[in-house]
Structure formats: structure tokens, C-alpha cells
Structure 1
Amino acid sequence: MASPLRCRAGLPCRSWLASLLLVLALGVALLPVAPAQAAMDYAKQVLIGADFHGSDLRGVTFSLTNLREADLSGADLRGATLFGAKLQDADLHGADLREATLDSAVLDGTDLRDALLEDAFAFNTKFNAVKIDGADFTNVPFRADVLKKLCLDATGTNPVTGRSTRASLGCA
């Protein structure tokens, strides 16, 4: 009878190959896997007075959420959805709201000083007694009546972009 072909360490080649594949499979299985980055969904919640200051909230959904008196100052809200959110007396000072959806949101007494709203969508947003000193509204569509109201209070320059609030709104 012929002896089986021997590979290293005196093991038959098939056993050696199977052992190698097993080690490789275990090695791959034990590699750290990065968690999927899924945006949080806070839609339709009551978050009155919530503290999100300085938080990474990119892509988070706050649709129809009550964020009255919430602290979102310095938060990264790029691409976030705040559709229909109640933001009365909320602090968004220095927040990054680029490409955020603010349509139909209620901003009454909201602090938007030094906020960056470039390319945000806020066409049907209600702005009443809002602090906008230093806010950048570049490429944000507004209804004519809202734009006229915002231009009355537009002062300052955004510390990040260097754009004046009046120029970013297109005030005459």
C-alpha cells in the first residue's frame, strides 16, 4: 500500500491544508468589526430641556419632536432632520446645521447666533424673535415675508465662514 503524501511536520497534506483554512477562518472571525453607523431617531418625542450641547448629531431625526428649551449649542447637526420640530427658546448657538431640514419647524425665541445653516432647507419655518447675530444662511430658501423679517435683525459675521449674516441672507 502506498503511503499518503506527506507535507511539513509529517502531517498528510489534506490535514495540513484543513488546519490552515481553520486558522484563517478563526482569524477572520475574530477581527474587530466596526459598528454600523446608523443615525438616531428621536422623531415625535418630548425632549423639553434636553442637553445635547456639543454632541455629534449628524443625520439624526428630530421630526415633530418637542425640543423646547433644549441645549443644542455647538452641536453638529449636519444633515439632521428637524421637520416640524418645536424649538421654542432652544439654544442652537454655534450649531452646525448645514444641509439640515428645518421645514415647518417653530423657532420662537430660538438662539441661532453664530450657527451655520448653509444649504439647509427652511422654506416654511416659523422664525419669531430669533437671535441670528453671526448666523450664516447661505443658500437657504425662505419665503419673502420671512426673509424680510430676518433682514431686519441681521447683524454680525459668522466666525467659521467669515460671511456676514446680511450677505448670507441676501438682504438689500
Structure 2
Amino acid sequence: MLLVLFILLRHVPTIFLFKAFLSAGVKPWQRAVAAALSVAVLGAGMHARAELNKFEADIRGEFGIGSAAQYGSADLRKAVHANENLRRANFTSADMREADFSGSTFNGAYLEKAVAYKAKFRGADLSDTLMDRMVLNEADLRDAILVRAVLTRSDLGGAIIEGADFSDAVIDLPQKQALCKYANGINPVTGMSTRKSLGCGNSRRNAYGSPSAPLLSAPPERLLDKDGFCDKGTGLCEATIQ
């Protein structure tokens, strides 16, 4: 009898069991045992959940892979979050104007549609982040790491990019060409030249700029060679398509 009660308490809400016992004419001593078991089972479950939450809080995120903090649509204007662990955090559509994130780690974070006008990301690790449709006008990206970052349709007009590493980042061709006009410096962590990471002056620069928006960033098809690359100088080519 006690084993049956314990199994039921593990899988059926307690309030329904009490109603069942009352309507079935269960003896008083059986009701007392059921009540004691319910307290023990529910108490253990609550304790386990409390310990799990405490553990996740201590390691800054699930499985120890980051904060996973939620800043979606948050007002972070002029906020200071320098040198913080913000891995896998969500900043979708957040207002980050003039905020300071210098030296922070954003690996795998979501920053799409965020407005980061004049925000400071100096020395920040923004690798593997989703930053599409983001406003980064006059943002400070000096010495930042943006390896494999997705920056399609983002606006980096006037951004300070000295020493930034854009290796394998996805950037629309017009935006990349605008950055190449003044790109300079070497990233102190990766040792990569900013110009090289952007593919500035590369005769084998891909004509399409970004795989996600080929029609917006590609020159007319008749100006591409058979491999889809551009010639040096003009960035276009009139090679015969074979």
C-alpha cells in the first residue's frame, strides 16, 4: 500500500490524490501516511530545484558556457558592462547607445537589430556573434575580435576599427569596401591585420560580399568571371564567362 502511494505521489498532483482519498473512504492512518509522504517527496523536489538554480547561478549559465543573460529590447544607454562574461547573452533590439562593453566576452551572443551608436567594444571578443541589422555608427571596435561574426545589413559608418579582426566575418560588400578605405592596425590577441581580415586589396575578393544578401551586394552578373571573383583595382571584372 505504501509503495503504491509513493509512486502515485511522484507522478500525480497531490491535490488530486487527497480528493481521491477523501472520496474513497480511506482510513485516517492511511491519510496521515499519505500526507507525510507527499511532504517528503515535494520537499525533496523543491530542494533539488533550488540546488540546481544555485549551481547554474554560480557558473554563470547553463552547462557553464556563459551567462545567457536576457537584455532583449532593454534600455542600456550609457550602461557599463566592461570586462563581463556575456557569452550567449541576448541583446536583440536593445538600445546600447554610448554603453561601455570594453573587454567583455560575447561569444555566441545575439545582437541583431541592436542600436549601438558610439558604444565601446574596445578589446571585446565578439566572435561567433549574430550582429545582423545592427547600428554600429561611430562604435569603438578597436582591438575587438569579430571572427565569424554575422554583420549582414549592419551599419558601421564611422566605426573605429583599428586593430579589429574581421576574419571570416560575413559583411555586405559595400560595407566592407567602405571599411577598407581606412582599415589599419594589428589585433593584439590574434595577430591578424585588420586590412587582411577584411580582404582589403585582395584580387580574389568574392564579388557577392555576403551569402545572405547576394542581390544587394553583387555587381551585375556580366561583370563576374566564371568563379564569381573580382579583378583587382575596380573590384569588377569583364572576363569572358566560359
Tell me, yes or no, if structure 1 residue 107 matches structure 2 residue 136.
yes
Task: Give runs of aligned pairs for residues 141-156 of structure 1, distance below 5 A.
Answer: 141-156=170-185
Q: What per-residue deviation string (whole Å, max 9, x for no partner) do you get for residues 49-76 of structure 1?
A: 0100000000000000000000000000
How many residue pairs match? The answer is 144
Distance 1:105 1:71 in 2: 16
Distance 1:170 1:158 in 2: 15
Q: What per-residue deviation string (whole Å, max 9, x for no partner) do you get for residues 80-137 of structure 1?
A: 1100000001000000001011100001110000000001110111111100000000
2:157 match: 128
2:189 match: 160
The structural deviation recorded for 1:35 is 2.0
Tell me, yes or no, if structure 1 residue 169 matches structure 2 residue 169.
no
Gaps of 5+ in 1: 1-25
CA-based RMSD of the aligned residues comes to 1.6
Q: TM-score, normalised by structure 1?
A: 0.80
Distance 1:107 1:61 in 2: 17
- Which residue identity is paired with 1:46? D
The structural deviation recorded for 1:77 is 0.6
Distance 1:133 1:64 in 2: 26
- Which residue identity is paired with 1:58? R
Distance 1:153 1:88 in 2: 19
Residue from 27, 38, 42 that aligns with 2:71? 42
Distance 2:89 2:56 in 1: 17
Distance 1:58 1:109 in 2: 24
The structural deviation recorded for 1:164 is 0.1
Task: Give runs of aligned pairs for residues 7-156 of structure 1, distance below 5 A.
Answer: 33=52, 34-35=55-56, 37-38=61-62, 39-156=68-185
- Identity of matched residues, %: 38
Gaps of 5+ in 2: 1-43, 63-67, 202-242
Distance 2:89 2:167 in 1: 22
The structural deviation recorded for 1:153 is 1.4
* Greater than 6 Å deviation, 4+ residue runs: none
Q: TM-score, normalised by structure 2?
A: 0.57
Secondary structure of the residue that 2:69 maps to in structure 1? coil
Distance 1:133 1:127 in 2: 13
Distance 1:35 1:165 in 2: 37
Distance 1:141 1:150 in 2: 13
Distance 1:61 1:35 in 2: 17
Secondary structure of the residue that 1:126 maps to in structure 2? coil
